[in-house]
Amino acid sequence: MSHVGHDEGKRPVLTAHPLQRVGAYALAFLGGAHTPEHLVPSAFDDAVGVLTDDAVRAALVRDTKHDQGFWLKASMSFFPNSKMNHPSNAKKDKEEIRTTVRSWRTCPEPGAWPEAACVLCGRAAVGFYGKKDVPLAESDVYRNTTPRGHQGLALCWPCLCCFYALPYGCRLTGGPSIALHSWDERFMARTVSRRVERSRQFIALGTADPRGGSDRETIALRALRDHDDRLTAGVELLVFSNNNRGQTLEIQSMDQPLAEWLRLSARLPARRRGFRALLRAHARPDRPGIVGLARNAFRSTELIAGACARYLTRHLDRGVIRSDSADLAELCFSLVIEVMRMNLNEIDEIRAAGGQVAAWLTAENSAGKLREFNATLKEPKRMRHWLMRRNLDALLDSRISTEGPLITEEQFRLLFDPEVEQAWFHRQLLVVSVVQRLHEQGFRPADRAEIAAELAAEEQDQPEDLVFASDEKES
């Protein structure tokens, strides 16, 4: 057990426990400090006083269904069966509740401390603690990190208070809570401080956030885009509940390159323009684009690139190049290079092939030819044949100003060789590059209106379908 001075005994120390770290930053901000190491002893006592006063106020509400019962309800997902929300509070008078809650949140006298070191920071422990004080610790019935019959985790007073402050650093829902964690200390300081400001309002009022339960991944995405400094570590999204009805923990992780790329998408002007298109690429009739993007960011980076490709090709069969195509294409290539770490030489080869194909389509000035190219996207064999045929046409047609062959041997290998692991992804990037270059060249084919009319005719409902739909309405 480490022996420390009086001041050090009231200063939170950051440990390897993610929830303790979130709580440490929340405690620091409640004490007016930017980081735990800058929290002076008097401010530490003030911060603990805020935690205790809020707990007493919530306990006096007694009923979670009361208009001001939100914090009391939320506390059950952190400290179930504690003095704050114990069922017996309904039968106690106000003074008795105040006394028991304040006693619960008071540091034990040194004479009662065990001969044990804090399991998190190594300083002198003030007691052993379990589920009702430490979210996601063992249940009261049995503990799986200590011997049977043992009283729980040995914790010092600052580490214990970090867990008491944890709810202030979380998005409170009344059910599972949402916390962001990172090993980037500046991100932690700024993100948790913003969250503490919001949580204090709802805890003080005893009411829930009127915006309801925001999508969990979206909370992380907003935090990343609001962060000013370069991120030096990835981000973890923790969704957890310590409720007696079901202790749960879900962790989603995002690596540093993707987190930094998302942050830069709010900082660099060219990427801000592309980001609007990125949201459109992820939007669905029943779901905002930001929700789809946030989910893809935590689940698979390739899904983001795929959404870009689908958006850029959505109207190619009409000979239409969207006005935001160039911005989105550039953003997509930055993702591929900075996050997916694809080989730069291979990217250059694919972009060069895209430029040649775009030059050929521009020379043809035909929406029909663009539609023909678009039709090959889902069939590699068909695309391979199309490129081979156009390669010969480009060499023989003097009107076409492509430099060299439409596609080189190396480019062909990258797109279609079975030995190339990501050939399918290279083909998607080829299309992104073609659309980008066509947009830059102001592609407006002469037969655009004619193709659009043909498609409109193709999309008309079949007479049989109309009759069926009519009958269905009548029935």
Q: What is the DSSP string of 425-464?
A: HHHHHHHHHHHHHHHHTT---TTHHHHHHHHHHHTSPPHH
Lowest mean pLDDT among 46-60, 335-349, 404-418: 404-418
Structure-block tokens of residue 52: 């205790």
Asked whether the predicted pLDDT for residue 433 surpasses 50, the reply is yes
Rounded Cα distance between 173 and 207, Å, is: 10
CB-based burial label for 139 (10 Å; 0-12, 13-18, 19+) = middle
Give the pLDDT confidence score for residue 470 in this predicted structure.
53
Q: What is the pLDDT of residue 139?
A: 54
Which contacts of 137-144 are long-range, i.e. CB under 8 A and separated by 24 or more positions?
A: 139/247, 140/81
pLDDT in tens, 134-187: 998 765 444 445 556 666 889 999 999 999 999 999 999 988 999 999 999 999
Distance CA 254, CA 236 (A): 6
Whether 472 shows a pLDDT value over 70: the answer reads: no
Q: SS3 of 237, please?
A: strand
Number of H helices, E strands in the chain: 19, 5
Residue 129 forms beta bridges with which residues? 153
| Cβ contact 284:310 at 8 Å | no
| Structure confidence by residue, pLDDT tens digits, 312-355 | 988 787 777 888 999 999 999 999 999 999 999 999 999 999 99
Separation of alpha carbons 235 and 122, rounded Å:
27
Residue 136 zone, left/alpha/beta (φ > 0; ψ -120 to 50; rest): left
H-helix or E-strand spanning residue 298: helix 289-299
Task: Name the one residue in this structure whose structure tokens are 């709010």.
Answer: 266
Q: By the 8 A CB rule, do 375 and 382 touch?
A: yes
Q: What are phi and psi of 265, to 5 degrees?
A: -65, -15
Q: What is the pTM of this model?
A: 0.84
CA distance 244 to 473: 50
pLDDT at 213 over 70: no
pLDDT band at 474; cut points 50, 70, 90: very low
Q: What pLDDT does residue 421 have?
A: 86
pLDDT (mean) for 78-100? 94
Query: Does the structure show a pLDDT above 60 at 462?
Result: no
Residue in 49, 157, 24 with CA at minimum distance from that of residue 57: 49
